Structure 1
Amino acid sequence: FVWHGSIRSPEIAEQAAYYGDGFFHNNIFWPADHTQRMVELYRTRYAHYGHGTPEQAIVGLGGQVFMRRNSQDAVKEFRPYFDNAPVYGHGPSLEDFTEQTPLTVGSPEQVIEKTLKFREYAGDYQRQLFLVDHAGLPLKTVLEQIDMLGEEVVPVLRKEFAAGRPAEVPEAPTHASLLAAERNKEVVA
């Protein structure tokens, strides 16, 4: 399965739709309305090319997180990295950036809550990627973020996304599902 990834290029959304491939919108530096426009373009064009309904288009989103058990500790610890990062530093405040973009700095519960809200502007989608090693974070801190995601965030997100997914929204293809589909074709033929 092929994913076409983009932050800002509508041509990539068009290309993914043309081929009936997945569209992965990075969704990390842009406000929700930009992400919404890109995903809607892809979904509309996916249907236009006859691959299915807009809801059946395969969408993935990015997001960036920094977590600690309580949000005050997360903000306090992450702020110096944010303020001095080549990408973020000396621009909008941490508070403004987290309000305007998918960046979530807080508790695991806050990450879950904000990530589930991505569906409000992107619709139901199949893949979520988290950026956890940004802004010059030390390896030890990055590994702690991965542990928190795996233990506390991802299991809840999987459950919530599955419970809220309409029947017409497909699962994202996996290597195993594509192999099984190929085997089924061979058996039928």
Structure 2
Amino acid sequence: MKFGINLAPNVTPEEKSGGQVFAEFLELAELAEKLGFEHVKTVEHYFTSYGGYSPDPVTFLAAVAARTERIRLVTGAVLPAFTHPLKLAGKLAMLDNISRGRLEVGFGRAFLPDEFAAFQISMDESRPRFDEGVEACRRLWAEENVVWDGQFYQFGPVTMLPRPFQEPHPPILVATARTPESAEAAGVAGYGVMMVPSINKVEKVQDMLALYRKAYAGAGHPGEGQVHMTYNTYLSEDPEQARTLGKEYAENTHEKLLSAVTSWATTRSEQYRGYEQIAQKAKSSSFEDQIRETKVLVGTPDEVVDQVRQIREWFGEITISLQPTAGNMPLEESVRTMRLFAEHVLPRFA
């Protein structure tokens, strides 16, 4: 298994300023490399306390690239629906060169109705915009004199500069939250997948993984593909503190998620079947449920070892992104969580 960190700024301006958040995140990224973690990942969201400090993950990861030498950089994820593919492919190619080939590009469809409304883009165009954006970026990286005549964009012939550092292009991952067809399509294309186990039952995640791996193998790609999953994480050597503070920070993040998905109660889209239930499901989920169902990594180091073993039994040899910055967690708590994980959990899964 591989382990990295996901730095999602789930904070309000009253809790932390943007300057404070990114100073802390850069410190954590440098620490992650020193502790032996495999990657640093961050999100793209807008306007709300649920990730809204990160409208451009490329900007942040470029700063991480300048401060590190080894650790992989993962967009988790960039959103093609909101960016022209010429701009998106170009700035990602720049980051691949700045980092000398350490970039992995995660693409996502976006899922918050308020973001689509702000960009004046219909959610019913989500899937075709995503497919077109990913394929246009892939071709711009891998080919020269690209001519594109799509549903949403037309351009060319153009040759993207700079060319990607990695040939023919950086590894591609796609976010697949609830839709089995997305997992299957990623497998056929030979892409990795990024999944969020906290919003699905174990059996559904297993079914989606089985579809993905079968499609990946059936298309003739080597290995089993790449699977990323993200978990809120809090460790302490004191079990009572781990449970008490882990709950506090997880519930802080949960409240921000609830606020961000509120508009799903009145939103419907064929591109997002079942998403209208997200708000209600989020309200009914408790921290105790998440602990019982191993949807968070919270506890003493030994307890978290057992949790990771359970995840491996369910899902196989995957890549786990720890989220050590849940809610308004102080920097020193994030540092302690990462150090305890690196010292006591990482060696057990080397």
Q: Verify same fold: TM over 0.5.
A: yes
Q: CA deviation at 1:84?
A: 4.0
How far did 1:114 drift?
0.9
CA shift digits 1:90-142 (9 cap, x unpaired): 643321221124212211111111112112221333x2211111122122211
Map 1:86-165 to 2 at 5 A: 86=255, 87=257, 91-125=284-318, 127-158=319-350
Question: How far apart are the structure 2 equivalents of 1:92 and 1:26?
Answer: 15
Gap change, CA 1:153 and 1:94, over 3 Å in 2 = same
8 A contact 1:83–1:90 mirrored in 2: no
Unpaired segments of 5 or more residues in structure 1?
159-189
- Seen in structure 2, the aligned counterparts of structure 1 residues 82 and 51 have a Cα distance that, compared at 3 Å, is closer
**TM-score between the two structures when normalised by the length of structure 1:** 0.70
State the superposition RMSD in angstroms. Answer: 2.3
- Provide the rounded CA distance (Å) in 2 between the counterparts of 1:20 and 1:84: 37
Q: Structure 1 CA distance, aligned partners of 2:316 and 2:186?
A: 17
Which is worse superposed, 128-137 or 81-90?
81-90
- Given candidates 238, 250, 261, the residue that maps to 1:70 is 238
Deviations 1:40-89 (A, max 9, x none): 1101111222225xx63332332222111032221122233334432378
Cα separation, 1, equivalents of 2:294 and 2:200 = 6
The structure 1 residue matched to 2:247, chosen from 72, 79, 91, is: 79
Say whether residues 1:44 and 2:236 are aligned partners. Answer: no
* 1:81/1:56 CA distance change after superposition, 3 Å: closer
1:13 to 183, 196, 205: 183
Give the length in aligned residue pairs.
155
Amino acid at match of 2:312: R
Higher relative contact order (CA 8 A, sep 6+): 1
Are positions 1:32 and 2:32 aligned together? no
Question: Among the aligned pairs, what percent are the same residue?
Answer: 24
SS of equivalent to 1:28: helix
State the one-letter code of the partner of 2:229.
L
CA distance in 2, matches of 1:24, 1:150: 22
- Distance in 1 separating the partners of 2:185 and 2:250: 34
8 Å CA contact 1:31–1:102 kept in 2: the answer is no
8 A contact 2:198–2:290 mirrored in 1: no
Q: State the TM-score, normalizing by the size of structure 2.
A: 0.40
Comparing 38-47 with 59-68, greater Cα deviation is found at: 59-68
Distance 1:13 1:90, change over 3 A: closer
Q: Distance in 1 between matches of 2:174 and 2:252?
A: 31
Q: Which structure is larger by alpha-carbon Rg, 1 or 2?
A: 2
Distance 2:225 2:176 in 1: 16
Report the residue type matching 1:17 in the other structure.
G
Residue 157 of structure 1, CA deviation:
2.0
CA pair 83-62 structure 1, distance change in 2 beyond 3 A = closer
Contact 1:27/1:62 (8 A) holds in 2: yes
Alpha-carbon distance in structure 2 between the residues aligned to 1:43 and 1:81: 34
SS for the counterpart of 2:237 is: coil
